[in-house]
């Protein structure tokens, strides 16, 4: 089953209490595409890069099996760049630099070969761009899985509302869910967000796992426990790609499949935080994932209760 991933391909400079990495490969589409490929999904990427984007990074994506017919290169401009610094607990970060560069004028114009995916995976992007992608793939009636962030909730609420109304599955973190629904209760926030359009809402809680609200089903998954975390950048995007990748692999859309997708997304996100940039994800195999999923099941298993 095919997945179209639309988002950013970027360069990131990241500093955490455990080190620093300068101009590493990043971007929402990068992490989501690589995550979905671990699951063997047929992935096509649509994003824009500048003339400074290294061929070695193009090769890294291609070597992992990511389709690049939709990777647009603007030779006259520079690739989107982000720089951030994380606090000691890694749950908060300060954005030091955001240079949109070629992303500032990016308007997706999908090749015909990319307009009939079975799943559209929308990484963090301007909701106007996300809506344009939905327009261009609407004839294929794909499952639309989208991510957003508080920047768009604050700066483009009307455009975001229009896009959310057309999304099947929306992924947000705790802060974004509360901000979007204007309520401190995550349960009420999920209900209110679903009333905006999405059938399914996933609320990511970082090291505390994730919540799934689908039909009448509510599911709470823990996060995989790690002793060492180097860099949390890209964890949410990896979760998105793993979530979509599992749905593509299973071909199912049931609440049970959504539950499984949350666990797979969480497991894959646990790999990417072990190194700076996508290095750990680039080397993760399906066998690695299977092993972590088995450990995840043991971690989350509820013993039989005797009353």
The two three-digit tokens of residue 237, written as one number: 């995007």
Collapsing DSSP to helix, strand or coil, 128 comes out as helix
Q: Are residues 89 and 19 in contact, defined by beta-carbon separation less than 8 angstroms?
A: no
Domain boundaries defined on the chain: 2-300
Pseudo-torsion of CA 212, 214, 218, 219, nearest 10°? -40
pLDDT value of residue 297? 85
Collapsing DSSP to helix, strand or coil, 101 comes out as helix
pLDDT value of residue 91? 77
pLDDT value of residue 1? 57
Residue 279: phi, psi to the nearest 5?
-55, -45
Residues 6+ apart with CB under 8 A from 192: 181, 183
Is pTM beyond 0.75 here? Answer: yes
Q: Are residues 265 and 38 in contact, defined by beta-carbon separation less than 8 angstroms?
A: no
Residue 167: phi, psi to the nearest 5?
-100, 140
CB neighbours (10 Å) of residue 256?
13
Q: Please write the tens of the pLDDT for every residue from 210-220.
A: 999 998 899 99
The candidate with the shortest Cα–Cα distance to 220, out of 236, 202, 235, 247, is: 202
Q: Are residues 246 and 265 in contact, defined by beta-carbon separation less than 8 angstroms?
A: yes
CA-CA distance, 297 to 307, in Å (whole number)?
Answer: 24
CA-CA distance, 3 to 246, in Å (whole number)?
Answer: 11
pLDDT value of residue 89? 80
Residue stretches of the chain with pLDDT short of 50: none
Q: Please write the tens of the pLDDT for every residue from 267-276.
A: 999 999 999 9
CATH superfamily for 2-300 is Ribokinase (3.40.1190.20)
Q: Are residues 44 and 262 in contact, defined by beta-carbon separation less than 8 angstroms?
A: no
Please, where are the H alpha helices in 2-43? Answer: 28-38
Question: 3-state DSSP: the chain helix, strand, coil percent, rounded to 5?
Answer: 45, 25, 30
Distance spanning both ends of the chain, measured CA to CA: 45
CA-CA distance, 300 to 263, in Å (whole number)?
Answer: 10
């Amino acid at each position: 089953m095919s997945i179209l991933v639309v988002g950013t391909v970027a360069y990131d400079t990241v500093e955490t209490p455990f080190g620093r990495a300068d101009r590493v490969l990043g971007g929402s589409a990068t992490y989501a595409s690589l995550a979905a490929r671990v699951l063997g999904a047929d992935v096509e990427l649509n994003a824009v890069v500048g003339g400074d984007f290294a061929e070695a990074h193009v090769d890294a994506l291609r070597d992992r099996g990511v389709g690049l017919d939709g990777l647009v290169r603007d030779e006259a401009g520079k690739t989107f760049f982000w720089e951030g610094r994380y606090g000691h607990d890694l749950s908060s970060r300060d954005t030091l630099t955001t240079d949109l560069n070629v992303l500032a004028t990016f308007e997706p114009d999908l090749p015909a070969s990319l307009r009939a995916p079975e799943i559209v995976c929308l990484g963090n992007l301007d909701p106007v761009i996300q809506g344009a992608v939905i327009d261009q793939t609407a004839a294929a009636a794909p499952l639309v899985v989208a991510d957003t962030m508080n920047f768009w909730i604050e700066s483009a609420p009307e455009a975001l509302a229009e896009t959310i109304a057309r999304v099947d599955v929306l992924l947000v973190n705790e802060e974004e869910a509360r901000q979007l629904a204007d309520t401190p209760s995550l349960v009420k926030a999920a209900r209110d967000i679903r009333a905006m359009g999405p059938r399914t809402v996933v609320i990511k809680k970082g090291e505390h796992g994730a919540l799934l609200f689908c039909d009448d089903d509510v599911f709470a998954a823990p996060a995989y426990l790690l002793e060492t975390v180097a860099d949390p950048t890209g964890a949410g995007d990896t979760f998105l790609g793993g979530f979509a990748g599992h749905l593509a692999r299973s071909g199912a859309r049931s609440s049970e499949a959504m539950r499984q997708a949350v666990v797979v997304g969480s497991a894959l996100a646990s790999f990417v935080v072990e190194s700076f940039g996508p290095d750990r994800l680039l080397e993760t195999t399906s066998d690695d994932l299977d092993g972590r999923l088995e450990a995840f099941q043991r971690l989350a298993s509820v013993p039989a209760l005797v009353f």
